[in-house]
Amino acid sequence: MKALTTESLTKKYGKKEVVRSLNLQLEEGEIYGFLGNNGAGKTTTMKMIVGLTPVTSGQIHLFGEPQCISQHLKKVGTTIEAPGFYGNLTAEENLWVFMRLHGLSNTSKIDELLQMGGLNEVRHQKVNTFSMGMKQRLAIVRALMHDPELLILDEPINGLDPNGILETRELLLRLKAERGVTMMISSHILPEVEQLVDRIGIVHQGALLEETDMATFRKKRLKRLEIQVDQPDEAVRILQEKWGINARQNQRGGLFINDVTHPSARINQSLVESGIGVSRLWQQEQSMEDYFMSLTNGRGRAC
């Protein structure tokens, strides 16, 4: 079953269309990366999904049924934009307050949530002393207090230091592995998302450009071969004559070949046999950020 689908989802503010005919599909149990540069419409889309802003047109289905806010919010946990807490209260006290606001009375759940977020040792520490990473993890476990089946997380790693990013990533992967929670995560930090998600949807200026699983993405992105040689001009000529390869020189006097289809060992051998000294040869895959930029033709920046 699909955890979430949207059909021609559109949002207008006056005459400005900020989300344009968006068709998304989230499978149950997956982590879905909702990617795009700042202002692409990610947060607005998430707000429509959880009922924080009205839909201009289009449909939203949650767990196979038309969106019903009163019915489906019990199955959805969310943290959108900056997480808000009572800074003068401790982590434990904040969770207690929010549980009461949601009509939940099982206070033993607080121990479970703090343990899950790796916050048990700071449970009595005031939240205004927390790092960004600690606040982000507290926000995520707060969204889990009612055992949702779907998590909608808006920029959960934005503004975090490397340690905070690592801690948040480990928490999200643990939630998927141990609880089977479906997650939709928006982000513009593409290299980090690549390590986390099962599928991606790339949105630009409110429109969905592509939706694909990571296995397919890894197969389709370009591979690039870089070669450091002592005679770059001669090497370019040899590669063109022997292999039909259009190699280009970089500013360091080396060569690079985009979309590699020939074995790198054979390329190296032909250069050496032609008297070209090869000091280094390595293959790189196109990064997700490079792929994003090529897909949008460089319009806007991914991060």
Task: Indicate whether 186 and 254 sit together in one domain.
Answer: no
Would you state the pLDDT for residue 17? 96
Number of domains in the chain: 2
Task: Indicate whether 237 and 95 sit together in one domain.
Answer: no
> Mind listing the pLDDT tens digit for each residue in 194-215?
889 999 999 999 999 999 999 8
Would you state the pLDDT for residue 28? 95
pTM for the full model? 0.79
Task: Indicate whether 14 and 42 sit together in one domain.
Answer: yes
Q: Which two tokens stand for residue 144?
A: 């889990």
| CATH code where residue 261 lies | 3.30.70.100
Answer with the one of 183, 198, 218 that is the final residue of a domain. 218
| CATH code where residue 64 lies | 3.40.50.300
Structural domain boundaries enclosing 214: 2-218
Would you state the pLDDT for residue 302? 37
- Cβ–Cβ under 8 Å, residues 191 and 162: no
Average pLDDT, the chain: 88
Q: Which are the contacts of 21, defined by CB distance < 8 A and separation ≥ 6?
A: 8, 9, 10, 58, 207
Would you state the pLDDT for residue 259? 62
Task: Indicate whether 44 and 156 sit together in one domain.
Answer: yes
Beta bridge partners of 278: 229
> Mind listing the pLDDT tens digit for each residue in 97-135?
999 988 888 888 999 999 988 899 999 999 999 988 899
| 299 within some domain | no
Task: Indicate whether 151 and 31 sit together in one domain.
Answer: yes
Task: Indicate whether 151 and 73 sit together in one domain.
Answer: yes
Give how far the C-alpha of residue 174 lies from the chain's centroid of Cα atoms, to the nearest Å.
16
> Mind listing the pLDDT tens digit for each residue in 208-255?
999 999 988 887 776 778 899 999 899 999 988 888 888 888 767 788
**Sheet with 248-249: strands ordered across:** 248-249, 255-258, 223-229, 278-285
Is a pLDDT exceeding 60 seen at residue 301? no
Tokens 């949105």 belong to: 203
Would you state the pLDDT for residue 107? 82
Q: 55: closest CA among 7, 25, 5, 10?
A: 10
